[in-house]
Amino acid sequence: MIDIRLIRENPELVKENIKKKFQEEKLPLVDKVRKLDEEWRKLKYEEDKLRHDRNRISKKINEFKKAKKDVSTLIKKAKGIPKKIAKLEEKEKKLQGEIKEIMYKIPNIIHHTVPIGKSDKENVEIKKFGKPRKFNFPVKSHVELGEELGMLDFDTSAKTSGKGFYYMKGDLALLNMALINFARDYMVKQGFEYIEPPLMIRKKILTGVYSNEEIEQMAYKIDGEDLYLIATSEHPLIGQFINQTINKKDLPIKQTGYSMCFRKEIGSHGIDEKGIYRTHQFNKQEMIVICEPAESYKWYDKMLNYSIEIFKALEIPFRVLECCSGDLADLKAKSCDLEAWSPRQKKYFEVTSLTNMEEAQARRLNIRIEDKGKRYFAHTLNNTVIATSRALVAIMENHQQRDGSIKIPKALWKYMGRKKIIKRK
């Protein structure tokens, strides 16, 4: 959510940003919120004037009483003021609710380095790492490999849970846990605090990180309770700090969290094919940083470098892709993805996503910094350390052998009891 002062003082800047994101249908929202804000400020002025009048009259009543003058007229005036103030407050509250709803729909101001483009097809490749392997045998998909190894079972999960779930077994399940342990140890080594967060959160946290549309498309609601299953550990991690003021000396806050994640995946992507790439339930290690505004892009670069180091260690060819303006969600100021190479599809696919939200998320959740009496909104960043199911797809495809076995990346050997290859038992 942007600062409403931007709309008051520079509405054209806000409109230009909306155009850069190719969301022209939202342009009327800027003028609408300006009008509502003007109404609100007028009511607030009237309310403040009434409070001033009440204080002035109260002072005069005391003076009249001391002078033994008649105060009945003044008391009558004073008695009518609270009702007028209450009516104004009710109108203000209603207007504030309308303004907030509109402000949630107006996108964050994108960083000046973000490339302009309509969709993910216009995202910009920054750099490639590793060379795709040349295979001298037919490349199998992770589904074929997993089923032939007897370690991925989609038929049984379809019976027990439905589409979008799976049973993972044996050494492949152990490899999944090895990825989690590797990611945890790597982030702790970088000075991040390790946290296992709650797997359910309240809607007031979700509305601080998601739009209402995203909540409908992604979040599983717990019937009869104000609780949702988390879609990523980022949400409860950042949600810890709702309505908090953090002393500048305690920054930056660096946390990494592991959790299972749950997503309905309704919408353009959906659960449209068999496999573990896009599912309703998966494991993910996340990292968040809360920092000084002046430091956020230094942290953006550091967090990107963490992702690069992790996927280099997994011996997977990948690239860094800068997200264009039209591919940025409304809260994002700047974002990039890491995409791993799929030898089966002969293209790259997303495995991690890094985002700087600047102050937009902190403004929604009311996360502030205090420095020598001054208070201002923090900047928040998040990045996928590893989504294990997607990393497994990349490892299985890129490290598969002719006999259907899978080589384990050296960085994971110690987490696999020194096992170096996964074979069918």
Per domain, the residue ranges of the chain are 4-105, 120-422
Q: Which CATH superfamily is domain 120-422 in?
A: Bira Bifunctional Protein; Domain 2 (3.30.930.10)
Q: Which of 349, 325, 352 is nearest to 118 (CA)?
A: 325
Give residue 265's pLDDT band: very low, low, confident or very high (50, 70, 90): confident
Strands 193-195 and 368-371: unpaired
Rounded mean pLDDT, 158-182: 95
Q: DSSP 3-state helix, strand, coil percentages of the chain (rounded to 5)?
A: 45, 20, 30
* Rounded-to-integer distance, Cα 104 and Cα 360, Å: 10
Packed helices 170-189 and 388-398: angle between N→C axes, nearest 10 degrees: 120
Rounded mean pLDDT, 317-328: 97
Evaluate whether 279 touches 164 at the Cβ level (below 8 Å): yes
Cβ-based neighbours of 305, under 8 Å, separated by 6 or more: none
Cα atoms found within 13 Å of the Cα of residue 56, Cβ hemisphere only: 8
Assess whether pLDDT exceeds 70 at residue 279. Answer: yes
Question: What sections of 210-344 are H helices per DSSP?
Answer: 212-218, 234-239, 296-313
Q: Where are the beta strands (DSSP E) in 346-420?
A: 347-356, 368-371, 374-377, 379-387, 406-407
Rounded mean pLDDT, 135-151: 95
DSSP state letter for 18: H
Q: Do domains 4-105 and 120-422 have the same CATH topology?
A: no
Average pLDDT over the chain reads 93
Q: What is the CA radius of gyration of the chain?
A: 27
Per CATH, the number for 4-105 is: 1.10.287.40
HEC-encoded secondary structure of 344-357: CCCEEEEEEEEEEC
DSSP three-state, residue 60:
helix
- Integer angstrom CA distances of residue 324 from 110, 268, 350, 358, 389: 10, 18, 15, 17, 26
pLDDT of residue 267: 54
Evaluate whether 289 touches 367 at the Cβ level (below 8 Å): no
DSSP state letter for 327: G
* Rounded-to-integer distance, Cα 375 and Cα 207, Å: 23
pLDDT of residue 259: 96
Give residue 43's pLDDT band: very low, low, confident or very high (50, 70, 90): very high
Question: Concatenated DSSP letters for 153-196?
Answer: EHHHHHHHT-TT--EE-HHHHHHHHHHHHHHHHHHHHTTPEEE-
DSSP state letter for 367: -
Condensed to tens digits (0 to 9), the pLDDT of residues 97-116 reads 999 999 999 999 999 999 99
Beta bridge partners of 168: 152
Angle at Cα 308 formed by Cα 302 and Cα 311, nearest 5°?
A: 145
Residue 319 burial (10 A CB sphere; 0-12, 13-18, 19+): middle
DSSP state letter for 383: E
Q: Which of 31, 100, 25, 23 is nearest to 328 (CA)?
A: 23
Question: Rounded to two decimals, what is the model's pTM?
Answer: 0.90
DSSP three-state, residue 254:
strand
Pairwise pLDDT comparison (57 vs 305), residue with the higher score:
305
Cα atoms found within 13 Å of the Cα of residue 21, Cβ hemisphere only: 26
Condensed to tens digits (0 to 9), the pLDDT of residues 59-89 reads 888 888 888 888 888 888 888 888 899 999 9
User: Which percentage of the chain shows pLDDT scores above 70?
Assistant: 98
Rounded mean pLDDT, 403-413: 97
Of 240-244, 272-276, 287-291, the one with minimum mean pLDDT is 272-276
Question: Concatenated DSSP letters for 182-245?
Answer: HHHHHHHHTTPEEE---SEE-HHHHHHHS-HHHHHHHPPBPTTSS-EE-S-THHHHHHTTTT-E
pLDDT of residue 271: 60
Condensed to tens digits (0 to 9), the pLDDT of residues 113-136 reads 999 999 999 999 999 999 999 999
